[in-house]
């Protein structure tokens, strides 16, 4: 199952247009469903850890946030939030990191996923 998800995400990412065509404004609007739990533009933890600087960051390392054991283990085992990992997580958090405590079903639209990642990249 995981191999299928990674295969699908890899194919989708390969088919995505270049960063210049990402819609950051759309990503910011889509991110509003995440904003009740996550801050994207400040280093402030909420119900979830802040996401400012998440692109390129190891999983489970934001200071003063109590991660699930699954997320801490994922980070300890080398999970870094690059664009492919973020896309897989945004598509299906519980598939990407089984045992995560994040209560989110995922985004189904590849356009939304791509644009949310572009927005997160812009808040670095």
Q: Where are the domains of the chain?
A: 2-122
CATH of 2-122, one of 1.25.40.10, 3.40.50.20, 3.40.1360.10, 1.10.760.10: 1.10.760.10
Whether pTM exceeds 0.85: no
Q: Which of 47-51, 80-84, 104-108 has the lowest mean pLDDT?
A: 104-108
Burial (CB count within 10 angstroms: exposed 0-12, middle 13-18, buried 19+), residue 124: exposed
Q: What is the pLDDT of residue 22?
A: 83
pLDDT in tens, 10-55: 544 544 444 557 899 999 999 999 999 999 999 999 999 999 999 9
Q: What integer is the mean pLDDT of 57-70?
A: 97
């Amino acid at each position: 199952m995981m191999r299928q998800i990674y295969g699908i995400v890899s194919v989708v990412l390969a088919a995505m247009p270049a960063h210049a065509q990402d819609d950051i404004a759309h990503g910011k609007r889509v991110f509003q469903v995440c904003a009740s739990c996550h801050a994207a533009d400040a280093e402030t933890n909420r119900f979830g850890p802040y996401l400012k600087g998440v692109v390129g960051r190891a999983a489970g390392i934001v200071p003063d946030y109590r991660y699930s054991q699954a997320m801490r283990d994922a980070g300890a085992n080398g999970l870094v939030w690059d664009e492919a990992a973020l896309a897989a997580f945004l598509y299906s958090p519980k598939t990407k990191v089984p045992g995560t405590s994040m209560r989110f079903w995922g985004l189904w639209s590849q356009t939304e996923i791509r644009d949310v990642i572009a927005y997160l990249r812009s808040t670095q």
